[in-house]
A = this chain, B = another copy of it.
C-alpha cells in the first residue's frame, strides 16, 4: 500500500459541498474523468472531473487555475478534450495531475473562486463515451458466472479445462459502445426455436444484461513486445462499469465454433466516469487462487499480484420496468456481488492480453466478464438469476421477469468502501430497452 498518500485521507473535504456528503459517489478522493457537453449545446466535447454533483470543466480550469508548469503541460490534452493523450502519460505524471486537482479542489484552496467558475452541475452535462476506444476486449474472469452458465450446457463439466490456466477473453465491437443514458434497441437475429429444424429471423426473446467492470488501458506496448506482470500497473488507467448486453437465444445458435458475435455486438453500455487506479488504491486486496487450484504460470504471477492484485468493489444490478416507472416506483435491486470474486486480476488480464505481443493502445477497453457472486442469488445476468429462463423472478410490484422486457431500464452501480477510507463511487451505468425494428 505504498502508494497511499494525502489524496486518500478519508477526512479531506472539498469546497464543493456536495462532494462531502457521505453518500456522494464523487468525493474529493475520487476525481474520475469523463467527457461531456453542456446539454443542448453543439460545442465540442470537453474532459471533466466529477466532484460531488458538479463537473469541473478542464478546458476552463486549465486556463483559469494556477498550476505548476509540469501540471500545466499535462493538462493541455485534457483542455483539448483529448483524454487518450493524457491516458498515454506515465502513472507518475497522471498522479501529479491527481494531486494538483485534489489540492485545488480541497477545502481552503486558494483556487476556490477561480475553479468555482469552471463548475457545471452534472444535471446540465450530457456525457459521452470518455475516449477513443480503439479495441474492446471482453474477458471471462467471473468464475461463478462461468460455472453457472457452463452447468446449463454441460452439467457434469461446467468449467472447461483451460479456465484455471488461461484468462479467457475474446474481441468485442468498439463502434456500438455507448454511455449510460442511452437506449438499447432489442436486436433482430437468427434463432433456432427449441425442437425446430429451421432457424427463424425474429426479435431476440432472451435479452439479458451482464454486470462487468471495464478497465481502460493507459500507455500501450509496441507490437511484438509483451507487458510483464511487474509493469502491468503502469499500463492501467482506470475503471468503469460495463453492461455487456447479450441476446441469449441468438448466442446459443451462432456461437460455435468462433464465439459470440451478433449476440453481443448490438450494444455495450459503460458508465461515464473513469475511476482512476489511484482512487482505487486503498481497496486493493490480497489475491491468490486456492491451493487446490493450479497456480498461475510464471508470466501471470508476481508478488505484488498476490499481495494486492485484487480490488474489493461492491457491485449491484437494479431494474426499473416501464410499469414501475409509470407508477413512480423506484428501481429494485436484482442482486449484489463483489469484484473480489473474480478468478483473474486486472493485471493478469492486461498481461495475458499482451503476452503474445498484441499491442494495446491508450483508451483500449478490457471488460472483466460477468461478476457473479458465489450464491445463486448473486448472478450478474438474468440467465443466471432465472436458471436459464426456467424460473422467473418476482419483482416487488408483482411483475415477473425471466429475461428483459421492452421498457426495462437496467442500472449497474458500484462502490468501494472500507474502514479508514473514503467511499468511492462509480456512478451509474443505465440504459433502457426499446422495441426491435419491424421485421
Contact = CB atoms under 8 A, between A and B. Distances in A.
Given A170-B170, A176-B358, A259-B257, A198 B162 contact: no
Which range contains the number of A residues in contact with the other chain? 35 or more
B262 A259 contact: no
A40 interface: no
Given A170-B170, A297-B190, A175 B226 contact: no
Given A134-B174, A175-B134, A223-B176, A162 B254 contact: yes
Contacts of A168: 254, 257-258, 261
Interface string A159-192: 0101001101111111110100000010111101
Count of identical protomers in the assembly: 2
Given A189-B355, A357-B188, A359-B175, A169 B256 contact: no
Nearest to A352: B262
A175 B361 contact: yes
Contacts of A176: 223, 358-359
Given A201-B298, A201-B299, A267-B223, A358 B175 contact: yes
Contact of A135 (B140, B173, B190, B294): B173
Interface of A: 134-135, 137, 140, 150, 160, 162, 165-166, 168-176, 178, 185, 187-190, 192, 198-201, 223-226, 247, 250, 253-262, 265-267, 294, 297-299, 352-353, 355-361, 364, 437
11 contacts: A166-B253, A170-B259, A171-B172, A171-B173, A174-B174, A175-B361, A176-B358, A189-B355, A198-B294, A224-B437, A262-B355
